[in-house]
Amino acid sequence: MNLKYQILLFYCYTKINNPEKFREEHHLFCIENNIRGRIIVSSEGINGTVSGKIEDCKKYMNNLKKNKLFKNLEFKIDNYNSNAFQKLHVRLKNEIVNSNLQEIDVLNKSGKYLEPSEFKKILNNKPKDTYILDVRSNYEHEIGKFKNAITLDLENFRFFSDKIDEIEKKIDKSKKIITYCTGGIKCEKASAFLINKGYKNVYQLHGGIIKYGIEEDGENFHGKCYVFDNRIVKDINKINPTVISKCLVTGKKIDRMVNCANVDCNKHFPLSEKGAEKFKGCCSKECMLSPNIRKYDGTGFYQRKMNGYNPLIGIKNKSRTN
User: Domain spans of the chain?
Assistant: 5-92, 112-223, 245-301
User: In the chain, which ranges are E strands?
Assistant: 5-13, 36-42, 45-53, 76-80, 88-92, 112-114, 130-134, 144-146, 176-180, 202-205, 221-223, 225-226, 233-234, 257-259, 268-270
Mean pLDDT score of the chain, rounded to an integer?
93
Instruction: Find out whether 269 and 243 touch, Cβ atoms under 8 Å.
Output: no
Q: Nearest CA to 187 among 111, 115, 122? A: 111
CA dihedral of residues 59, 61, 65, 70 (deg, nearest 10): 140
Min mean pLDDT across 135-144, 250-259, 305-314 is at: 305-314
Name the class of domain 5-92: alpha beta
Closest to 32 measured CA to CA, from 63, 65, 74, 4: 63
pLDDT tens-digit readout, 254-285: 999 999 999 999 999 999 999 999 999 999 99
Q: What is the pTM of this model?
A: 0.91
Phi and psi angles of residue 73, each rounded to the nearest 5 degrees, phi first: -70, 140
Catalytic residue among 12, 57, 181, 225: 181
CATH of segment(s) 112-223: 3.40.250.10
| pLDDT interval class at 1 (50, 70, 90) | low
User: Is 181 noted as a catalytic residue in this protein?
Assistant: yes
CA distance linking residue 23 with residue 25, whole number of Å: 6
- Sign of the alpha-carbon dihedral angle for 118, 122, 124, 125: positive
The pLDDT value given to residue 181: 98
